[in-house]
Structure 1
Amino acid sequence: MRGQTIEKMENEMVETLKSLIALPAVHPDSGGEGEMKKAEYLNKLIENFGFDSVERYDAEGRPNIVARINGKTNRTIWAVTHMDVVPAGDLKLWETNPFEPVVKDGKIYGRGAEDNGQEIVASLYAAKAVIDEKIEPENNMCLAFVSDEETGSRYGIFHLLSKKLFKKDDYIIVPDGGNESGTLIEVAEKTVLWLKIKTTGKQCHASMPEKGVNAFRAATLLGYKLEELYSKFNIKDPLFSPAISTFEPTKKESNVPNVNTIPGSDVFYLDCRILPNYKTEEVIEFIERRAKDVEKETGAKIEIEVVNREESTRTSPDAPVVKKLKKAVEDVYHIKPYPGGIGGGTCAALFRKQGFDAVVWGKIDDTCHMPNEYCRIENMVNDAKVYGKIFSE
């Protein structure tokens, strides 16, 4: 496929992304209207593009669109992007209205510009270029525009998986991550484990600590002991960045409202990102042993609750979809992409858990979820060239 075909579409791509940004698709639970208006816009836009089929798979009022071009074989190459966006956040931190797109210095500013508007448009116009050039692709091409990615994917990817649309030999690309150079092809994720740790003591006046049991002090002591997690689970895996498992205390709930009271209850949270070299139960058991030690030392009681657990997933760096994406990126950007792992979660993991090979890629400045989020127009156009090569070759 000729890259010039996509280059000639640049102005149309910019206008499409501006239109998408101007249609807020914030989750209803976050006070938004959902993705319906954006889906209706996309449906109308692509009805004359020439896809062999455009189908809707709505789930309880949340839209999902699958646009298909038939190829010569039974294998399908998927590009799965999401229509929903996170809330704008503190408007005082924005230099522009987050839902009134602004084009400036080669960038398009607005909520959802990079996450995931850039790749919605890039994959869409890559497919349009294949159609316009009258290329009969070797494999089927499917674009999936899904809902609910930002809040669990129940009404999006999970719903599509339940419809049995995907086959084991399909190539699944989730353009919802990456890095500034475009070199990272994400093929693996660490296990995500979030723990709620509650210490219970006995509240009393701060001037008479001997009459109580300081739950905050017990929590602090446990937090200190949990530093041992880094030395206990210290294997390094160069596939990941960072190459180690991480164990970080993060959120802390309020205990007492005044300074002169020793708290009888304290709650903090631990965020663990565990390499697949370790079993999650090993980590939990180690934490529980340290909690027992603190109970003996302080007299406090400690409860540990798992609030989130997502086991690690991995696509082989030698999988065909990785090789195909790598070649396309090399051809367009003239760089050397590499397969790697991350500590965060992506919705590619939902496919991997079902036994599908799935990869995450994009050339992004990583302004997702930030104030003044933007998409670099050059990235959007060149990413479209990458998808065009994948679809057509």
Structure 2
Amino acid sequence: KGKNHYFVQVAEKGVFWIKLRTRGRSAHSSMPKAGVNALMKMVEVLHKLGLYKPPSVPTREVKEFLRRIVGEFESVEEAIARLEREEPWLAEGVRTNMMITMVPTMIKAGIKENVIPDECETVVDCRLPANFGLDYLKDQLRKALGSLEDVEIEVIGADPGTSSPYDTIFFRKIEESVSKFDPGAVCVPSTSNGGTDSRFFRAKFGTIAYGFRVTKLDVPLDEFRRMVHGVDERISQENLVYRTKMLVDIVKRVMG
């Protein structure tokens, strides 16, 4: 639409870390039939996780995000399809916002090169749509694993997702500041797939907390995305000054 869009994070997905454990029976690896390989059992578990297609949960925040980006729409899928034609990476981010993701990140098995492992552990990083909790995660795990049995599940980390309302004076003050620095720009309530410190303030104190990082793209978008948590993560001096000026302006508006 020829307008700049400023994302204001009003919600974030929950972060749950789980440990999956399979057990078998040790034996010398030269005699595979003599033991039960826990690692091979885990391979089947990971295969099931990789194939699972979780349901989409279009949250209020996702619907508003799409409305401000693409305009009015009849269905969420139609809106995402329209967005995908212009910004495929952004459409993929919205799809991820709406579903649970379960990504294996660490695996441990075996004590020696020639011993069939009798235990295998895999850590899975799970991200849930905002305001969904452990019961939903367990239900989705059961559906993903299907008929597989003898898989132990241990929760080793749990930070439920949170959200803040965006029909607030605070949000409007951000919009006023954005309009001052970039006339015609649009503020868009967004959901973060990653975790931020906002969740602690929302959960503990009921604080209205927003994530707002102002960035003018001065490098190609693909390059900018690769820099996030990369070896060359940075922002330009121009962006640092621009961001600081706008944040100071927002504080003055809110406190004034």
- Normalising by the residue count of structure 2, what TM-score does the alignment of the two structures yield? 0.70
CA-CA distance at 1:368 after TM superposition: 5.7
Is the 1:197–1:304 contact (alpha carbons within 8 Å) kept by the matching residues of 2? yes
Q: Residues 199 and 219 of structure 1 are in contact (CA less than 8 Å); yes or no, is this contact kept in structure 2?
A: yes
Query: Aligned partners of 1:331, 1:195: CA distance in 2, in Å?
Result: 46
Distance in 1, matches of 2:21 and 2:189, equals: 39
Give RMSD over aligned pairs. Answer: 2.6
Which protein is bigger by CA-based radius of gyration?
1
Contact 2:15 2:125 in 1 (8 A): yes
Q: 1:274·1:280 contact (CA, 8 Å) conserved in 2?
A: no
Q: Which runs of 5+ in 2 are unaligned?
A: 66-92, 216-223
Distance 1:316 1:221 in 2: 42
Indicate yes or no: 2:89 matched with 1:234: no
* 1:337 alignment partner AA: C
- Choose between structure 1 and 2: higher helix proportion: 2
C-alpha displacement of 1:290:
6.1
Q: Is the 8 A contact 1:288 1:304 kept in 2?
A: no
Q: How do 1:143-222 and structure 2 match up within 5 A?
A: 183-222=6-45
> How far did 1:346 drift?
0.4
Alignment gaps of 5+ in structure 1: 1-180, 296-300
The answer to whether residue 165 in structure 2 is matched with residue 342 in structure 1 is: no
2:163 aligns with 314
Distance 2:50 2:57 in 1: 15
SS of the residue corresponding to residue 262 of structure 1 reads coil
Deviation of 1:288 (Å): 4.9
Q: Is the 8 A contact 1:185 1:337 kept in 2?
A: yes
Query: Which of the numbers 237, 241, 250 marks the counterpart of 1:381?
Result: 241
Aligned to 2:73: none
Aligned equivalents of 2:52, 2:147: Cα separation in 1: 15
Q: Which residue of 2 aligns with 1:329?
A: 178
**Map of 1:1-393 to 2, 5 A cutoff?**
183-227=6-50, 229-231=52-54, 233-237=55-59, 238=62, 239=65, 241=94, 242-245=96-99, 246-258=101-113, 260-276=114-130, 278-288=132-142, 293-295=147-149, 301-334=150-183, 335-353=185-203, 354-364=205-215, 367=227, 369-393=229-253
Q: Which has the higher contact order (CA 8 A, sep 6+)?
A: 2
The AA in structure 2 aligned to 1:206 is S
CA 1:283/1:228 → structure 2, altered by over 3 Å: closer, same or farther?
farther
Offset of residue 218 of structure 1: 1.1
C-alpha separation in 2, matches of 1:226 and 1:312 = 22
Report SS of the residue matched to 2:186: coil
In structure 2, give the amino acid aligned to 1:336: V
Q: TM-score, normalised by structure 1?
A: 0.47
Q: In 2, are the aligned partners of 1:205 and 1:261 still within 8 Å (CA)?
A: yes
Structure 1 distance, partners of 2:248, 2:21, is 52
Mark the CA change 1:376 to 1:195 in structure 2 (over 3 Å): closer, same or farther.
same
SS of residue paired to 1:247: strand
Instruction: Letter of the 1:363 partner, please give it.
Output: V
User: Does the residue aligned with 1:188 lie in a helix, a strand or coil?
Assistant: strand
Q: Flag the 1:380–1:287 CA change in 2: closer, same or farther, 3 A.
A: same
Q: Residues 330 and 262 (structure 1 numbering): CA distance in 2 closer, same or farther, change over 3 Å? A: farther
C-alpha contact (below 8 Å) 2:131/2:162 kept by paired residues: no
